[in-house]
Structure formats: structure tokens, C-alpha cells
Amino acid sequence: MKQSTRINKIPVIFLAAVLFVMLMSGWALGMFTDIEEEPYVSEDADRIVVGVSQLGSESMWRTANTESVQNTFTQQNGYFLIFNNARQKQENQIKAIRSFISQRVDYIVFSPVVETGWETVLQEAKEAGIPVILMDRNVDVKDKSLYVTCVGSDFVKEGEKAGRWLENDLKRSGRQDSEINIVLLKGTEGSSSQIGRTKGFFEVAQTHDNWNILAQEYADFTSAKGREVMESILKKYSQIDVVVSQNDDMTFGALEAISESGRSVGVEGDITVISVDGTHEALSMVADGIINVDIECNPNQGEYVSDVIRMLESGEKVEKQYYVDEDVFTADNVTESVLSERNY
Ligand code: GZL
């Protein structure tokens, strides 16, 4: 085959330099973000194109939430999914949403890492005529028309459930009038799950003068941060009666720190442990009496979001907020079937 004379004459180093510059400029323009998408082929024309910006992969709950999305928005179900993992950064979510707008997707679905800072990009989606559905967490915007609906959990209720359980547990053990020293491990600062759970728990706590909140620290919903924060709290306080941790991953880290400090936990232990999420691993610890109670937060939201999209496609009116079904788990109701049926 006749070689192109032009290529033969241009020094290879120059071609390499041009290629390097092209790659770098493409990277700088965000062309190589980790937006995962399957190859779009012509017969996809009648599929509903959904752009999903997931906030990250910080916890077991998040992994299950992502799986729920990816198992729902499939070609077999009539969807074309464009998925982005923002790695906990709001600017990555904003970039992904702008990418979805430029690709003219049919729907944008996202789990906002924090509640604020979304007005501009949501206004751009509105002007592009692309409906936005919030999943899991919510946004704090004055103009509620910037999103169609939010499918997630009632975080305030989850926090309140934790408080009510503690009230009843103290009554059961005859300690309702004792001084109770409490430590609170909070999730990502400014996230609606952290804000809601904190609000709900304190609505109960403030009615008990004998409940002393020794410390309330952010631990980002991760196991590593949960351990680090709990280690520092254990060094400061010798008498801790209750740890309220706003997700199982932080609980796992806190349990490691408490164990290393020589104190005991759970139903028979010095420290009562209240967790949130209800992952399989944590429920096993509930069954074993290590975690006293786990307030479920259901990550299986993909199908709920798909139901909303189908309603919108058929012109039905949708509510501004949909809550997923959730339970409260103690050793009394964590049965073998609960554990065997749990997909996260
Ligand atoms: C709750 C979700 C929280 C989980 C954590 O809906 O936002 O984020 O409780 C996750 O496990 O990191």
C-alpha cells in the first residue's frame, strides 16, 4: 500500500507533540471524564435517554444505589443510560449535568452531594427543556420548578426514629432519668441526609434534659473517617453511653476504634450503638447484638425513578416528593430471611 508521502516527511516527534497537545486539550475540556455510556446505535432512537450523575462511591449504601440505577435503566427496559460518578465533588456533578444538557438527554437524574449551589445549572437544564429528577438527596432551591420531583428517604423521620428508639430503650432498661452521654457521628456536611437525620434526632433529644450531647462531628459517611473521628472522641471522653452514627460505614469505623479502646458495645456492652442504612453487614451485627438498632435507608431507588419517568412519558401528574419504604431493625426482626433476601 502506497505510504502517504506527507506523513513520511513529517518528523515523528512533531506528530507525537501534536497528538499530545490534542489529548491534553481534550482532557482539559473534560472530554475524557468518566462518563460511562454504551455505544449509541441507530435502533436506539426510540429508547429514553437518561443522564445520571451519581455523587460518588463513598459507602456500601451508595454502591447499592448505583446498582439499583444500572439494573433499572437498561436497554431491555427501554432506556439508554449515560452514567457519571462525580467522586464526591459538586463541580463534577455540575460538569456532568452540563454534558447531559449538551447531549440533549431526555431526563437528568442526580443525587446532589450537598443541598446548595445548584440554581445555575438547574436553570440551564430548565431552559433546555430537560426534566430533572432528584434521587436520594434533595436540593435547597427557592424555585421548586427547577426539578420535577425527588425520590428518596425522609431523613428527618430517620433521625427521629433513632431518637424514639433510644427513648424506648432507656425506658426498658430503667435509665430514662439517668444522665446519658451521647456522641453523634454525622455524614457529609450540608447533605440532606446529614441535615435531616441531625434535625430529626435533635427534635427528640431536646425534650430530654438528661441527654448530654458530648460531641457531634462530621465523618463524611466513610468508614475511615468514622474511625478517625471516634478515636479522637474516645481520647477526650471516658464516659460514653450512646453512639449515634448516621450511616453503617461510619459505624464500622467507630466500632474498630471503640474495640481498640477496650470498651464494649451493643446489647450487652458499655456503649449503645445506633446506626443508619441497614446494610447486610450491619444487620448481621444487629443480629449478633453488636449494633443495637439500625434505621433502614433504602438504596433501591432506581425502579421508583423509572416509575416516575413512565408517568411523565404518559403525561401523568407527579408529586414533588416520593419516599421509599423503610423499616427499623433490631435483633427481634433481623431474621434469616431478612438477611438472605438483602441485596446490599
Ligand atoms: C442516604 C444517603 C447516604 C447514606 C450513606 O440517602 O444519602 O449517603 O445513608 C450514603 O451511606 O453515603
Q: What is the pLDDT of residue 185?
A: 98
Q: Cα(310) to centroid of ligand 1, in Å?
A: 26
Q: Is the CB of 136 under 6 A from ligand 1?
A: yes
Q: What is the pLDDT of residue 39?
A: 60
If you ran DSSP here, which 8-state letter would residue 301 be given? -
Compute φ and ψ for 277, nearest 5 degrees.
125, -55
CA-closest candidate to residue 251, choices 287, 195, 293: 293
Ligand 1 atom at shortest distance from the alpha carbon of 246:
9
Q: Is 324 exposed, middle or buried (0-12, 13-18, 19+ CB in 10 A)?
A: middle
- Domain locations in the chain as residue ranges: 12-152+300-313, 155-297+330-341
If you ran DSSP here, which 8-state letter would residue 299 be given? -
Please name the residue that has the C-alpha cell 447486610: 280
> Could you say which of 3.40.50.2300, 3.60.21.10, 3.40.30.10, 1.10.1060.10 is the CATH number of the domain covering 155-297+330-341?
3.40.50.2300
Q: Cα(232) to centroid of ligand 1, in Å?
A: 23
Q: What is the pLDDT of residue 62?
A: 97
| Same topology between domain 12-152+300-313 and domain 155-297+330-341 | yes
Q: Cα(81) to centroid of ligand 1, in Å?
A: 22
Annotation: CATH topology of 12-152+300-313: Rossmann fold (3.40.50)
3-state secondary structure of 9: helix
Q: Is 179 exposed, middle or buried (0-12, 13-18, 19+ CB in 10 A)?
A: exposed
Q: What is the pLDDT along the chain (344 residues), one digit of tens a residue?
A: 333 333 344 455 565 565 555 555 444 444 434 456 656 555 566 899 999 999 999 999 999 999 999 999 999 999 999 999 999 999 999 999 999 999 999 999 999 999 999 999 999 999 999 999 999 999 999 999 999 999 999 999 999 999 999 999 999 999 999 999 999 999 999 999 999 999 999 999 999 999 999 999 999 999 999 999 999 999 999 999 999 999 999 999 999 999 999 999 999 999 999 999 999 999 999 999 999 999 999 999 999 999 999 999 999 999 999 999 999 999 999 999 999 999 88
CA-closest candidate to residue 338, choices 259, 278, 263: 278
**Residue 303 and residue 312: Cα distance in Å, rounded?**
14
Q: Cα(115) to centroid of ligand 1, in Å?
A: 13
* pTM of the complete model beyond 0.85: yes
3-state secondary structure of 246: coil
Cβ-count burial 22-50 (b if 16+ within 10 Å, e if not): eeeeeeeeeeeeebeeeeeeeeeeebbbb
Q: What is the pLDDT of residue 203?
A: 98
Q: What is the pLDDT of residue 38?
A: 59
**DSSP state letters, 107-158:** EEEE--SSSSS-HHHHHHHHHTT--EEEEES----S-GGG-SEEEE--HHHH
Ligand 1 atom at shortest distance from the alpha carbon of 137:
7
**Residue 94 and residue 73: Cα distance in Å, rounded?**
21
**DSSP state letters, 41-102:** -GGGGGSEEEEEEE----SHHHHHHHHHHHHHS-TTTTEEEEEEE-TT-HHHHHHHHHHHHH
Q: Are strands 35-37 and 79-85 parallel, antiparallel or unpaired?
A: antiparallel
